[in-house]
Amino acid sequence: MTEEQIKHIGDNYALGATKNKEVIFWQIDTKGKVRTGKIMQYNPETGRRIKHESGAIDWIHNKLKKSGTLPEDFNLQQCFFGEHLLKIYPDATVCIVESEKSALISAAVLSDCIWLATGGLNNLTADKCEILRGRTVILYPDLNAYDKWNEIAARIRSSIEVDISVSTLLEDIATPEAKAQGLDVADFMIFHLRNNNSNSTQETPEPDPEPIIPPPAPARFTPELEAMIEANPAVLTLIDKLDLIEC
C-alpha cells in the first residue's frame, strides 16, 4: 500500500492516536455523533496488540468519566466501528468483521465495499443492525464463530428488512491450526497477498490449493482498486473468493 492509500484509510475511518502512540478507534454514528473511542496499542514491527498487565484496551468514555467531563452514570450506546461510512456510501455492500484492525486491512485491500467492525464477538445485535435496514450485508465471522453469527443473522433477518448473509469461506478452507488460532478474514488476506509475492512455505493460514490464474481486471471497480489489481493480481482472487463480485 502507498502512503496515500494508507492516509485515505486513516482519514476515512477517522483514526486517532494518544500521546503514547496508542490507536483510537472512534465509534461515529451516521449522524456524526461520536459514541466513544476504543484505545489499543500495537507493536509497530509486528502489527500485533501489546497487552499490558492492566489490560490491552481502554476507552475514551472511561477517561472522560475519570476526569469528571462525563457523569459517572453516563449510558454508553455503542455503534459499529466505521458506521459513519454508511451515509457517505449509501449504495455500497456492507461487510462486517469482528475486529477494528481487520476492518481497516479489508478496506485497504477491497475498497469497493464498506467494512465495519463489531468490536467483539458478542457485539453483533439486532438493535445495532437496525441502521443496516435496506442494505446488502455480508458477515465474515472469525474462525469458530460461524455458528454464533449465523444464528444472530437469522434473528436479524426475521426482524429487519436487510439482505444479510454469512460467509463460510474461512470455515471451508481453514486448517485445524488456523481454527485453533481463531484467525479472521484479514489474516487470510495478508497471507494470500504475501504468498503471491514470495515463495513462502508457511502452512497457516492455508491458501486455496488451486493455482491462482486470475482473469484480467474488470472495469467495474474504482480506478484505485483497478490499479491495485494491476499491481497485484491476488487482490482480484481475494475479491472472487470473498463473494464480492457484485460490490
Q: What is the CATH number of the domain that holds 142?
A: 3.40.50
pLDDT value of position 149: 96
Nearest to 80 by CA among 63, 103, 109: 103
For residue 94, give its domain range. Answer: 88-241
H-state helical runs in 110-222: 126-129, 146-159, 169-173, 176-181, 185-196
- Which domain-ending residue is among 20, 35, 66? 66
140 and 187 share one domain: yes
104 and 23 share one domain: no
120 and 234 share one domain: yes
Confirm whether 58 is domain-assigned. Answer: yes
Beta bridge partners of 24: 16, 39
Q: What whole-number distance in Å separates Cα of residue 114 and Cα of residue 222?
A: 13
Confirm whether 76 is domain-assigned. Answer: no
Q: What percent of the chain has pLDDT over 70?
A: 77
134 and 29 share one domain: no
Does the pLDDT value for residue 20 go beyond 60?
Answer: yes
Threshold 0.85, pTM exceeds: no
Among 92-101, 126-135, 166-175, the range scoring the smallest mean pLDDT is 166-175
145 and 94 share one domain: yes
Q: What whole-number distance in Å separates Cα of residue 74 and Cα of residue 151?
A: 31
56 and 177 share one domain: no
Q: What whole-number distance in Å separates Cα of residue 141 and Cα of residue 167?
A: 8
Confirm whether 108 is domain-assigned. Answer: yes
Q: What whole-number distance in Å separates Cα of residue 150 and Cα of residue 74?
A: 32
62 and 92 share one domain: no
Helices 185-196, 234-241: crossing angle, 10 deg rounding: 150
133 and 39 share one domain: no
107 and 220 share one domain: yes
Cell of 168: 463460510
Nearest to 159 by CA among 124, 127, 121: 127
110 and 51 share one domain: no
61 and 93 share one domain: no
Total domains, the chain: 2
Which run of H or E residues covers position 100? Answer: helix 100-109
pLDDT digits (tens, 9 = 90+) for 128-151: 999 999 999 999 999 889 999 999
